[in-house]
Each structure stands twice: as C-alpha cells, then as structure tokens.
C-alpha cells in the first residue's frame, strides 16, 4: 500500500494531503475503501485466487513473448508489429493495474484499499483503457493504408509518423486519465465506503459519492462518446474502405491474403468493444454492481490474455519468430557448457 501512496504523490504532487484526509466539513474524513470483489464466501477465495493468478501470468508471459518475438526478428520491424508491441505492453499494464491488488487482498484476507491507492489505480486503469482504444484505431489505419494504398505504404507509414501516432496516443490517454481522476478528488463520501467491484472503477466511485456528481457524469459520458465513439467510427471507416478494396481484387487467393492481414486485428477490436459495451449496457439496464464486476472481467482480464494467442496463432511470421526464439533459448545452455 505504501507503494501506491508514493506513486500517487508522483502523479498528483499538487493535491497534497487531500489524497489522505478529506475536508472534515464534508462529513467524510475517509482514508480507505473496501473492495468487495466477487464473493464473500471463504471457500471460494482459493478458487478465485488461483483462477485470476493463472490468467494474470498467462497475460504477462504471453504479451512478453510477443514483444520479444518482434524485437528479436529484424524482418518484423515494421509499422504493424511496432503497434503490436505497444498493444502488448499496454495489455500487461492494463491487467497489472487491477489484478495484483485483488490477489493481494485475497491472500491477506483484507478488502482494504487506501484512498490514495484507489485514485492511483483508477488513474492507471483509465489510462490503459484509453490507450488501448487509441492503439486499436491506429492499427486499423495502418491496415487501411497497407491494403488500400500498398504502393505508398512505406512512404506514408514512415517511422516518424508511426512514432508520432503512438506518442499522441500516450499523451491523450494520460490527459484524459488525469482529468477524470482529478474530478473525483473533490467529491465527498459519506458512510457507504464499500465498492462492489474488484477494482476502483470510475463509475462506481461516482455512485458512492454523496456530493453533487452531475459534472462528473457529464464529463465521463462525454469523454466516452468522444474518444470511444470517435475511435469506433474511425475503425469502421477504415474497414469499410478495406472491404471495398478487397472486393475489387479479382483472384480469390488475393482476397484471402489481403483479408488475412487484418483478420487478427478485427477479431481483437470486436472482442474489446463488444465486451466493453456489453458490460456498460448491461450494468445500465440491470443496475447490478456484482454482475457488472463479473462482466468486467471480460475486457479487463480475458481480452488482454487472449490477444497474444489471436495474433500468434493466425500469424506465420510471429509463430516462426517464437519458434526461433524458443530454439535459441533451448540450445543456449548446451552451447555455453560446451
């Protein structure tokens, strides 16, 4: 918990002691929340711990393998794989923002998270979610240029533009996350300090506040429509042009080759957006916090875990690089001993 406090001081140095002590005039004075998780039954805790630990390790090692495979193969140093390595890094951070704290609470049989830790966790979660959306949009644009303008691909998608697109994605995600987190800090919380979730989710925090949250809700939904909706429209536009170009290809083999280059990305986009939209639409319809927490596992844990499998199983270049990487690791020991 002390690590979370230190991180929060780095991110919010100008907030000062507000992260630890609320204004006594607001009838709060809270310094911690309780993450209720999925179930309070003791016999289910080992099962939940083992399940989430397994998924977390698979996510981390799977995405690390993708990064190592792309870094170790010079022929994979292209814009598509450059964006893929950034996506893999974000997937690791996305899961690491929520799962380790939940595992720690289960292991220590404690549900407590400090106020500073909650704000910090919320900041990194919003940051990674926004960055994932931006990167998926940039990857859609990359596939659009590769299929619709193949002769000008290397000129358009030059290293300078690729680096700029990723840098802008990181900056916009950080600014959005900072704005959303800072708007939660002035809120006052009364007696209900239990968060019916396994992490400090923005919507849950706003619902717990006993002060006026109209501005928070307006900003949250406006940003969601602007960033999420705008990015989704951009992805749809890119793929509408891609489909039109593929339909113009005469040979069936050419159509299959063109479509296979973007099939993995299309599957990841569908998985991320469908699960994310499904969670928020279902939570708005049922108002059940526990069912929302369970459904949130789909896009916060399962989707980052499946991404490496989707890209590696459908990509011959990645599979060859992974095979070569595993072969080098297996033969390195005997060679050194010899």
CATH number of the domain that residue 314 is part of? 1.20.1070.10
Q: Is 266 exposed, middle or buried (0-12, 13-18, 19+ CB in 10 A)?
A: middle
pLDDT digits (tens, 9 = 90+) for 174-217: 999 999 999 999 988 876 688 888 899 888 888 888 888 899 99
Classify residue 332: in a domain, yes or no.
Answer: no
Q: Are strands 194-195 and 32-35 parallel, antiparallel or unpaired?
A: parallel
Distance CA 70, CA 78 (A): 9
pLDDT digits (tens, 9 = 90+) for 130-174: 999 999 999 999 999 999 999 999 999 999 999 999 999 999 999
Distance CA 202, CA 37 (A): 15
pLDDT attached to residue 279: 66
pLDDT attached to residue 280: 64
Classify residue 190: in a domain, yes or no.
Answer: yes
Q: Residue 27 in contact with residue 188, Cβ under 8 Å?
A: yes
Classify residue 139: in a domain, yes or no.
Answer: yes
Q: Which residue has the tokens 């805790």?
A: 45
pTM, two decimals, is: 0.84
Distance CA 11, CA 178 (A): 9
pLDDT digits (tens, 9 = 90+) for 18-37: 444 434 334 345 778 999 88
Classify residue 337: in a domain, yes or no.
Answer: no
Classify residue 319: in a domain, yes or no.
Answer: yes
**Residue 75 neighbours by CB distance under 10 Å:** 9
Q: Are strands 112-114 and 32-35 parallel, antiparallel or unpaired?
A: antiparallel
Classify residue 335: in a domain, yes or no.
Answer: no
How far does Cα 170 stand from its chain's mean position?
12
Distance CA 161, CA 148 (A): 18
Distance CA 88, CA 326 (A): 19
DSSP annotation of 320: H
Domain that holds residue 284: 2-327
Bigger pLDDT: 9 vs 308? 308
Give how many domains the chain has, as a whole number: 1
Distance CA 144, CA 166 (A): 17
pLDDT digits (tens, 9 = 90+) for 38-87: 877 878 889 999 999 999 999 999 999 999 989 988 888 899 999 999 99
pLDDT digits (tens, 9 = 90+) for 187-197: 888 766 888 88
Classify residue 333: in a domain, yes or no.
Answer: no
Classify residue 157: in a domain, yes or no.
Answer: yes
Task: For residue 273, give both structure tokens.
Answer: 């957006």
């Amino acid at each position: 918990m002390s690590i979370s406090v230190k991180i929060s001081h780095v991110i919010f140095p100008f907030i000062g002691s507000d992260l630890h002590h609320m204004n006594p005039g607001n009838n709060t004075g809270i310094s911690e929340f309780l993450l209720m998780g999925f179930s309070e039954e003791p016999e289910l805790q080992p099962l939940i711990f083992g399940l989430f630990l397994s998924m977390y390790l698979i996510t981390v090692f799977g995405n690390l393998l993708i990064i190592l495979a792309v870094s170790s193969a010079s022929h994979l140093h292209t814009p598509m794989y450059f964006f893929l390595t950034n996506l893999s890094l974000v997937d690791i951070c996305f899961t690491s923002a929520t799962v380790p704290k939940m595992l720690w609470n289960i292991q220590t049989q404690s549900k407590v998270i400090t106020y500073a830790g909650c704000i910090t966790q919320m900041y990194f979660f919003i940051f990674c979610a926004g960055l994932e959306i931006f990167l998926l949009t940039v990857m859609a644009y990359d596939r659009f240029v590769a299929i619709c303008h193949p002769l000008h691909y290397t000129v358009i998608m030059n290293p300078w533009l690729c680096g700029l697109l990723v840098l802008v994605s990181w900056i916009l995600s950080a600014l959005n996350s900072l704005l959303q987190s800072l708007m939660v800090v002035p809120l006052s919380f009364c007696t209900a300090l239990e968060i019916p979730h396994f992490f400090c989710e923005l919507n849950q925090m706003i619902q717990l506040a006993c002060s006026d949250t109209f501005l928070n809700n307006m900003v949250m939904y406006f940003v969601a429509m602007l960033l999420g909706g705008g990015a989704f429209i951009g992805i749809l536009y890119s793929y509408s042009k891609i489909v039109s170009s593929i339909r113009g290809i005469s040979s069936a083999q050419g159509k299959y080759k063109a479509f296979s280059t973007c099939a993995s990305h299309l599957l990841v986009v569908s998985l991320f957006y469908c699960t994310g939209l499904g969670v928020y639409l279902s939570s708005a319809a049922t108002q059940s916090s526990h069912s929302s927490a369970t459904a949130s596992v789909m896009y916060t844990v399962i989707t980052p875990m499946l991404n490496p499998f989707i890209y590696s199983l459908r990509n011959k270049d990645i599979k060859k690089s992974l095979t070569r990487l595993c072969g080098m690791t297996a033969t390195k020991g005997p060679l050194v001993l010899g």
